[in-house]
Structure 1
Amino acid sequence: MHLIAISINHRTADVALRERVAFKDDAIRSANVDLYETKSILENVILSTCNRTEVYAVADQIHTGRYYIQRFLARSFGFDVEEIKEMTEVKVGDEAVRHLLNVTAGLDSVVLGETQILGQIRESFFIAQDEETTGTIFNHLFKQAITFAKKAHNETDIADNAVSVSYAAVELSKKVFGKINNKQAIVVGAGDMSELSILNLIGSGVTDITIVNRTLAKADQLASKHQVKSAPLSDLSNLLSSADIVISSTSAEDYILSMDMMQHVQQYRKNDSLVLIDIAVPRDIDPQIDELESVFNYDVDDLKGLVDANLRERQNAANEIAQRIPAEIEAHNEWVNMLGVVPVIRALREKAMGIQEETMESIDRKLPGLSERERKVISKHTKSIINQMLKDPIKQAKELSSDKNSNEKLELFQNIFDIEAEQAYEPKKSKRRVNSTGRILGFE
């Protein structure tokens, strides 16, 4: 069996291509089943997000497994196999495990260290489990990857520092106020950056948000989408008298918030702190406003400095997490190797305990007058003899798991002790294919 990871991501395909190779939510389940029914595939999990579509599979052969996965993707999205090959990264064995660990921990994301991917991996794994397309290998490996990512996020600062401008804007507000859930915010503009700012404010618990825009209809539409308030640009001066946070991102050529307007507003404020964050280029907020007391005015360069510093912090944390990955790969390999040993050890124990039980039955026949206490003592000592005799053979069997010729040596081990172990990894059986009426059509 071989692990294969095939990935279409932000490095291999632009956004226009990635949009064309994303499984819709309602198609993931059937896609998992379709892939599982494919030749050479023993287990599979499909991950599909806005930035990546990936197939993780256990296959009986590397080359055929890779081909049939790429053919499956081509058929699913209307591409030629050669086109799919050009936009995919293929990882096999340890590199496939490494890739899964990197992705789950957020080390392979567009935004380094983002945590959303962990939930998406978990959900993809659960869906595959529900559809019974996972088995012994993936039930263990994906749980290991999810546990690893959780621990990495808890023990490092990789997700604690803002690395997007809109998120950094909200984080700057927190540096001034501490908690901002009870603050009043104004978002000037109704474009993409403004919407991201709204989402980050909502994510930080802010409920009092007003969108201000020159075109009120756009403000109304965005406000309705996120269930916040809207107002025309002409109301900005009045709103500033009670606001705590202002994030501005418009395409205006002149200042939206001038020094004169802010001086007028200051007459009605009670020296409360006001955070102004200008993420527009050219700037929306007059830089002279820096001179006013209790006003904290930040522009995009200030935010960039914070983002760059935070990105360095995230990279340091990412390097720390990356150093832990080889140990995780080794642990996975040890677990896989032990799969072949465990049934052998179990068979050896079962045979030995069977001999002990037969011996006790013989003793019962030959010494029928034994008391219950005497019988328990004899049973305990015979089991102790068995366990001591098995100690070294079991140790030797475990050491065979890491031997390059482990299969041959385990077979010899079974012959020596005259035991027959169950197959460590049972490939899926041939599955009957049925038509829509349920009639059996044949076997694969």
Structure 2
Amino acid sequence: MSLLVIGLSHHRAPIDVLERAALDETRRARLATLASQSDDVVESVVVSTCNRTEIYAEVGTFHGAVADLTDALVEATLVSRDQLREHLDLQYGEAAVAHVFNVAAGLDSMAVGESQILAQLREALALSQSEGHVGPTLNALVQRALRAGKRVHTDTDIDAVSRSLVSTGLDLAEQHVGPLSGAHVLVIGAGAMSGLAATTAARRGAGSLTVLNRTLARAEALAARLDASAVDTTRLTDALARADVVISCTGSAGLVVQLADVADAQVARGGGRQAYVDLALPHDVASEVAGLRGVLRVGLAELGQAVDGASTSPEVDRARAIVAEEVSRHSTERAASAAAPAVRAMREAAQQVMERELDRLHQRTPQMSDREREEVRLAMHRIVEKLLHGPTVRVKEMAVDGRIGEYEEAIRQLFDLHSDGGLR
């Protein structure tokens, strides 16, 4: 079995393709079901964020799994097969394992070093567990990757040097409307990303803050933590007219802020400058808004360009070193686990030979004392251990190289073992 990662990410796919690949809960569940139905997929996790839509799968065969999972992506997303093939990201084996660790550490994100991915990956694992798509192999991998990601944020200062998409968006907004301290900020949405956006705006000294959400209770719950006001979507027109900066990240399948909404807001404001920071995928704010006088609209494409370059800091280098160490440790542990049956069979065979020879010796030398018999047993045990030390080390090395099958067959032939590990 080997790990396969297949899907779309910001590295190869443009934002418009990522938008079509973005999954709501229904389509995410559909993709998870389709992935699990492949005969070549043993375990799977679907990860869908604003940076990526990917499947992490433990597979029996490479080509069969790639074909089946490509079909699943085409059916569950709105991306055509030709576009999917053009922009598809694919990693296999150890490269796929390293990818999962880099994702968990935020090193593969559009905003390098961001920490939100930890919660997103943890949620993806929990959903896959609840649906019965995860077994011991993927569970151990993702849990280890999550611990590695947490260690990156604990043992380095990457949080201090990485630029989140929210912070970058607010920087661009300030350049357009002026200092945030004199601005009214409207956050549309009340999910995890909206909470981060509202918290970041409050910490940066926003003059005032409003949270707007379809469910008023959720907007009120978020607003209560930040000394902000809360309104529901029926108040969108008034809320837009008041706002100098609008941050939207709802996860809605359609537009939340139409061109006409912003045009009306501009009339009500007398043409006063506004900045719209659209963190959603698919996007919440109509792209045509950028053509209105006095209005700035920045989406994920612009934000991605603005945060590009953060991957070269010394703290990111330290983070990469930690991830490399954790990947190596995981691979070693997995190899040891894979090698265990072969090592056990080899040692059990040797133990059986030793016990037979001891029994024969005892029958021929009834005059030996118990102490002498124990000394003989210990001597034979030491000989067996020394003879098996080299093969034991070698089997673990071959497990790391993915060649454990060759070694197991060689052991069966050399020791004349049954398939269950016992002597013939």
Separation of aligned partners in 1, 2:110 and 2:156: 19
Post-superposition offset of 1:71: 0.4
Write the deviation string for residues 70-127 of structure 1: whole angstroms up to 9, x where unpaired: 1011112355433432342222333323322221111121222111112222232233
Q: Give the conservation status (yes or no) of the 8 Å contact 1:104–1:149.
A: yes
Q: Secondary structure at the match of 1:6?
A: strand
Separation of aligned partners in 1, 2:79 and 2:401: 43
Gaps of 5+ in 1: 172-184, 214-220, 232-246, 257-280, 284-307, 424-444
The answer on 1:190 being equivalent to 2:186 is yes
Gaps of 5+ in 2: 172-180, 212-217, 231-242, 247-265, 274-292, 296-305
Separation of aligned partners in 1, 2:197 and 2:387: 69
Counterpart code for 2:69: I
Separation of aligned partners in 2, 1:123 and 1:350: 43
User: Does 315-324 or 95-104 show the bigger shift?
Assistant: 315-324
Alignment match, 2:223: 226
Separation of aligned partners in 2, 1:21 and 1:398: 41
Q: Give the conservation status (yes or no) of the 8 Å contact 2:163–2:310.
A: no
Alignment match of 2:392 (pick from 366, 371, 394): 394
Write the deviation string for residues 253-278 of structure 1: whole angstroms up to 9, x where unpaired: 8999xxxxxxxxxxxxxxxxxxxxxx
Separation of aligned partners in 2, 1:46 and 1:371: 66
* CA distance 1:150–1:212, change in 2 (3 Å): closer
Post-superposition offset of 1:6: 1.4
Which of 1 and 2 has greater Rg? 1
Write the deviation string for residues 301-342 of structure 1: whole angstroms up to 9, x where unpaired: xxxxxxx99975873322333355555555555555555532
Alignment match, 1:96: 96
Pairing 1:318-337 to 2, within 5 Å after superposition: 318-326=316-324, 328-331=326-329, 333-335=331-333, 337=335
**Root mean square deviation of aligned Cα:** 5.0
Separation of aligned partners in 2, 1:37 and 1:169: 41
Give the length in aligned residue pairs: 341
Post-superposition offset of 1:68: 1.0
Separation of aligned partners in 2, 1:363 and 1:392: 28
Counterpart code for 1:346: R
Instruction: Give % identity.
Output: 24
Q: Give the conservation status (yes or no) of the 8 Å contact 1:190–1:222.
A: no
Alignment match, 2:160: 160
Separation of aligned partners in 1, 2:414 and 2:244: 78
The answer on 1:46 being equivalent to 2:46 is yes
Q: Secondary structure at the match of 1:68?
A: helix
Q: Give the conservation status (yes or no) of the 8 Å contact 2:105–2:148.
A: yes
Counterpart code for 1:317: E
- TM-score norm. by structure 1 comes to 0.59
Kindly indicate which of the two structures has a greater share of residues assigned to helix: 2
Q: Give the conservation status (yes or no) of the 8 Å contact 1:21–1:53.
A: yes
Q: Give the conservation status (yes or no) of the 8 Å contact 1:343–1:421.
A: no
Q: Secondary structure at the match of 1:190?
A: strand
Q: Secondary structure at the match of 1:109?
A: coil
Counterpart code for 1:145: A
* CA distance 1:87–1:360, change in 2 (3 Å): same
Instruction: Kindly indicate whether structure 1 or structure 2 has the higher relative contact order, using CA contacts under 8 Å at least 6 residues apart.
Output: 2
Q: Secondary structure at the match of 1:159?
A: helix
Alignment match, 1:71: 71
